A and B are shown apart, each in its own frame.
Chain A
Amino acid sequence: MSGADERQRLRPADALRVASIGLRARPLRAALSALGIAIGTASIVAVLGLSASSQAGLLAEIDRLGTNLLTVESGKSISGAPAQLPHEAAARVGHLGAVQAVADAAKVDGVHVYRSPLVPAGNTGGLQVRAASLGLPRVLGIGVAQGAWLNAGTAQAPVTVLGADAAAQLGIDRVGPGVRAWLGDRWFAVAGILGRSPLEPAIDASALVGYPAAARELGYVDVDVDGVSARQSPGGMADDAAAAPGPASAIYVRTARGHEAEVQARLAQTANPAAPAEADVSQPSDVLTARAAAAGAFDSLFLGLGAVALLVGAVGVANIMLISVLERRSEIGLRRALGATRAQIRSQFLAESVLLALVGGGAGVLAGAAATAIYASGKGWAIVIPPQAWAGGLGSALLIGALAGLLPAIRASRLAPTVALRSV
């Protein structure tokens, strides 16, 4: 008998059945004690899932808009005065190799857009007026929400297209005959409303007109003063219809993919050969990329809260397991009488605790994933649950179950069978 080396371990199916007795006998208690771990796991999974999904959303947006957009803007001269880009800068940039498309816009200073002439001149609402080249929406990846973008004809006429924020601010939500806005000192017909412009947010708050219209109607013309291009203020000598429009204040350049750096290096020199330092070159997608990188900035705070919930859950499980061991003394005694070793009793209660925690962890992972899925699909993001979120959730539940069950399991195994059998 003592020499027999037959198996004394329980078969896995038996071990699982024995470990789940407590859970099956008192399901409500099991559910409540697993709740803390479920909440902790759910919050951890949801936090990681949401930040990953929002990151994926931003990256998808960046991908859609393209990272191959470069911007040249007029900077400041050495003396600190506002500099200007040469009139022919856009055309020169267009001749650079690897440049696919160029568009430009010019902020028309001193002219504002109003709902009607009755609005006091000071109430500009922060809106600006810009002259834009015809290729602007295409280069910046802006959709047209309503109506139409400017064309060669409307660019000559008192016609404007509003940025998304400008339209909302002016209370214009549709286009059609009779829809107009007051620009400078006359009515402009509103031909269209643009969609969002994430790469160049200034467009959102602008009323856009064609360069010829800006020159003719708003007095945005080139005046050569000591060899430097300058524009004339409105209300001045705008009667000369032949005057050329003023220079662009920003040039938007689409390059062939992979050639961004080489174009960027030559852009300032090309746009303003006389004073390259006065041209600021930037890559607008950098801002979005930085935003994506910052999307996880508050994660550690919420992860900490999730960890606290897990800790509280672990204490709950340990408490329930200790009570369970006290309540089930006669079961322990009986199992010892039926031939269970101390190690088998210990394993039974340890496995029960781990099982309890895993049930909580599994429910938490599902709840966190569901929360992520609902929120992310509401925002139109791709649903991303990082593997480390769910694997980490289940793993920490497993660890917590083992830790929480250790003391109760050791107590159960040390219980003298005779004491256990007497206690009824």
Chain B
Amino acid sequence: MSGSAQTGRDAEDAPRDLVLELDGVTKTYGHQPPVPALRGVSFAVERGELAAIVGPSGSGKSTLLHVVGTLERPSAGRVRIGGVDVAALDDRALSRLRAREIGFVFQQFFLAEHATVRENVADGLLYAGAPVAERFASADVALEQVGLSHRAGFRPGKLSGGERQRVAIARALVGRPAIVLADEPTGNLDSATGAAIMELLHELHAGGATILMITHDAALAEQLPRQLRVLDGRIVADTRRAAA
């Protein structure tokens, strides 16, 4: 599913393989008066892309992440993940979709302190129905990818912030999801560690992973091949850097 053979760069001549499509997505909170967080957002992400959603706080980018991650349903408009319209799915089917097609990376890592690094990563597959042996084998591969194989038996409390975020990234990657959603992945890290994490995201992208990163940091967003600027619940710019 992760389409490791294909990258975004040679997708121009191939038929477009869309991992994520948003079409006129609106999200409104409350009733009296309604507060619009997203006002008609439309964009698409191809397999193998590395893109940033960038905007100041309150611009609606977190809501956008939740809608894309199927943690919230849009008030109007359509969200398709891997070609499936999520509006048609019930809680069970949505959960299965999250378990298999979407990987999350959070600013606060959210690691289980009483479990080892390896168990934390393997738990990324807990709800996907994989047997234990397969979960741990995949966890070892994912830890290799983020360069933390030597920390597999540690508890998260013994790790540095950068290492903790790498564990969280490995957990997001372990099921080889169609898309990884990273919410301010460097937000809790110092700049040097943050830069290392960015480098890791670039490496994973080069390896074929589709990554959508959310950030308020315009400078950070500019390092990525594509930036979607969000302001007041709308996409105000969709710029692509010339392929390196």
Which residues in A have some Cβ–Cβ distance to B below 8 Å? 1-2, 4, 6-8, 10-11, 13-14, 18, 21, 24-25, 330-331, 333-344, 416-418, 421, 424
Judge whether A337 and B96 touch: CB under 8 Å.
Answer: no
Judge whether B126 and A21 touch: CB under 8 Å.
Answer: no
Judge whether B108 and A341 touch: CB under 8 Å.
Answer: no
Q: Which listed residue (B72, B84, B102) contacts A2, Cβ 8 A? A: B84
Judge whether B72 and A8 touch: CB under 8 Å.
Answer: no
- The complex places the Cα of A18 from the Cα of B123 at a distance, in Å, of 10
Judge whether B88 and A338 touch: CB under 8 Å.
Answer: no
**Residue from A13, A14, A24, A421 with most neighbouring chain B CB atoms (10 Å):** A421
A360 CB → nearest B CB, Å: 21
Q: Which listed residue (B82, B96, B112, B126) contacts A14, Cβ 8 A? A: B126
Q: Which listed residue (B102, B106, B126, B132) contacts A421, Cβ 8 A? A: B106
Q: Which listed residue (B88, B114, B123) contacts A25, Cβ 8 A? A: B114
- The complex places the Cα of A35 from the Cα of B157 at a distance, in Å, of 30
Judge whether A342 and B114 touch: CB under 8 Å.
Answer: no
Judge whether B110 and A1 touch: CB under 8 Å.
Answer: no
Given the known interface contacts A331-B112, A421-B71, the answer about A2 and B89 at a Cβ–Cβ threshold of 8 Å is yes
- The complex places the Cα of A340 from the Cα of B91 at a distance, in Å, of 9
Chain B hits for A13, CB < 8 A: 132
Asked whether B47 is an interface residue with its Cβ less than 8 Å from the other chain, the reply is no
Q: Please, what's the 1-or-0 string for B132-145, where 1 marks a CB less than 8 Å from any CB in chain A?
A: 10000000000000
Judge whether B95 and A340 touch: CB under 8 Å.
Answer: yes
Chain B hits for A424, CB < 8 A: 108
Chain A hits for B69, CB < 8 A: 337
Which residues in B have some Cβ–Cβ distance to A below 8 Å? 66, 69, 71-72, 82, 84, 88-89, 91-93, 95-102, 104, 106, 108, 110, 112-114, 123-124, 126-129, 131-132, 171
Judge whether B106 and A341 touch: CB under 8 Å.
Answer: no
Q: Which listed residue (A2, A8, A417) contacts B127, Cβ 8 A? A: A8
Judge whether A339 and B100 touch: CB under 8 Å.
Answer: yes
Judge whether B129 and A8 touch: CB under 8 Å.
Answer: yes
Chain B hits for A418, CB < 8 A: 66, 71-72
Judge whether A339 and B71 touch: CB under 8 Å.
Answer: no
5 A-B contacts (beta carbon < 8 Å):
A1-B100, A2-B96, A331-B112, A340-B95, A340-B126
- Of all chain A residues, the one with the shortest Cβ separation from B115 is A21
**Residue from B84, B89, B126 with most neighbouring chain A CB atoms (10 Å):** B126
A23 CB → nearest B CB, Å: 11
Chain A hits for B126, CB < 8 A: 10, 14, 18, 338-340
Q: How many A-B residue pairs have CB under 8 A?
A: 92
- The complex places the Cα of A176 from the Cα of B226 at a distance, in Å, of 113
Judge whether A335 and B127 touch: CB under 8 Å.
Answer: yes
Given the known interface contacts A1-B100, A1-B101, A339-B100, the answer about A21 and B112 at a Cβ–Cβ threshold of 8 Å is yes
**Residue from A14, A21, A333, A337 with most neighbouring chain B CB atoms (10 Å):** A337
Chain A hits for B104, CB < 8 A: 334, 337-338
Chain A hits for B114, CB < 8 A: 21, 24-25
Chain B hits for A4, CB < 8 A: 96
- The complex places the Cα of A69 from the Cα of B114 at a distance, in Å, of 69
- Give me the 3 closest cross-chain CB pairs, A-B, nearest first: A339-B99, A339-B127, A341-B95
- Of all chain A residues, the one with the shortest Cβ separation from B181 is A337
Chain B hits for A335, CB < 8 A: 127
Chain A hits for B128, CB < 8 A: 339
- The complex places the Cα of A2 from the Cα of B128 at a distance, in Å, of 13
Given the known interface contacts A8-B129, A338-B127, the answer about A2 and B110 at a Cβ–Cβ threshold of 8 Å is no
Chain B hits for A7, CB < 8 A: 129
Given the known interface contacts A21-B112, A421-B106, the answer about A338 and B129 at a Cβ–Cβ threshold of 8 Å is no
B127 CB → nearest A CB, Å: 4
Judge whether B71 and A417 touch: CB under 8 Å.
Answer: yes
- The complex places the Cα of A421 from the Cα of B127 at a distance, in Å, of 18
Given the known interface contacts A2-B93, A8-B92, A421-B106, the answer about A339 and B112 at a Cβ–Cβ threshold of 8 Å is no
Chain A hits for B96, CB < 8 A: 1-2, 4, 8, 339
- The complex places the Cα of A4 from the Cα of B97 at a distance, in Å, of 10
- Of all chain B residues, the one with the shortest Cβ separation from A5 is B96
A352 CB → nearest B CB, Å: 14
A311 CB → nearest B CB, Å: 32
Chain A hits for B99, CB < 8 A: 338-339
- Of all chain A residues, the one with the shortest Cβ separation from B92 is A341
Judge whether A339 and B98 touch: CB under 8 Å.
Answer: yes
- The complex places the Cα of A416 from the Cα of B66 at a distance, in Å, of 11
- The complex places the Cα of A393 from the Cα of B201 at a distance, in Å, of 55
Chain A hits for B106, CB < 8 A: 334, 421
Judge whether B91 and A342 touch: CB under 8 Å.
Answer: yes
A324 CB → nearest B CB, Å: 14
Judge whether B129 and A6 touch: CB under 8 Å.
Answer: yes
Judge whether A336 and B84 touch: CB under 8 Å.
Answer: no
